[in-house]
Amino acid sequence: MNIHPPYLSPAYRSTILRAPAHPLVMPKLGPDAIELTGPVFGHEEVAPLDHDLTRQHAGEPIGERIIVTGRVVDSGGRPVAGTLVEVWQANAAGRYAHKGDQHPAPLDPNFTGAGRCMTDHEGRYRFVTIKPGAYPWRNHHNAWRPAHIHFSVFGTAFTQRLVTQMYFPGDPLFPFDPIFQSIPDDAARQRLVSRFDLDLTEPEWALGYQFDIVLGRTPMEA
Active-site residue among 4, 95, 116, 135?
135
* Secondary structure (3-state) at 190: helix
Which of these is catalytic: 12, 148, 167, 209? Answer: 148
Q: Is 63 or 115 the residue whose CB approaches other proteins more closely?
A: 115
Residue 4 C-beta: closest distance to other proteins, Å:
5
Residues 114, 150: Cα–Cα separation, whole Å: 9
Residue 28: Cβ within 10 Å count: 5
138 catalytic per annotation: no
Residues 6+ apart with CB under 8 A from 38: 154, 155, 156, 157, 158, 160, 161
Catalytic residue selected from 96, 125, 167, 209: 96
CB of 22 to other proteins, least distance (A): 6
- Choosing from 95, 145, 167, 209, the catalytic residue is 145
CB 136 within 8 A of CB 144: yes
Cβ proximity to other proteins, 34 vs 203, nearer residue: 34
Residue 16 is which amino acid?
Answer: I
Least distance (Å) from other proteins to the CB of residue 80? 12
209 is catalytic: no
Give the integer Cα–Cα distance in Å for 81 and 143. Answer: 38
Instruction: Name the catalytic one among 13, 150, 161, 217.
Output: 150
Tell me the closest approach of the beta carbon of residue 115 to other proteins, in angstroms: 8
Active-site residue, 148 included: yes
Smallest gap from Cβ 204 to other proteins, in A, equals: 29
18 part of the active site: no
What SS3 class is residue 45? helix
**Closer CB to other proteins, 201 or 218, in the complex:** 218
Give whichever of 3 and 207 is closer to other proteins, judged by the CB atom.
3
Active-site annotation holds for 4: no
How far is residue 209 from each of residues 43, 49, 132, 138, measured CA to CA in Å? 25, 19, 13, 29
Q: Which residues pair with 163 in a beta bridge?
A: 152
Burial 111-146 (b: 16+ CB within 10 A, else e): bbbbbbbbbeeebbbebbbbbbbbbebebeeebbbb
Which CB sits closer to other proteins, 46 or 207? 46
Residues with a known catalytic role: 96, 135, 145, 148, 150
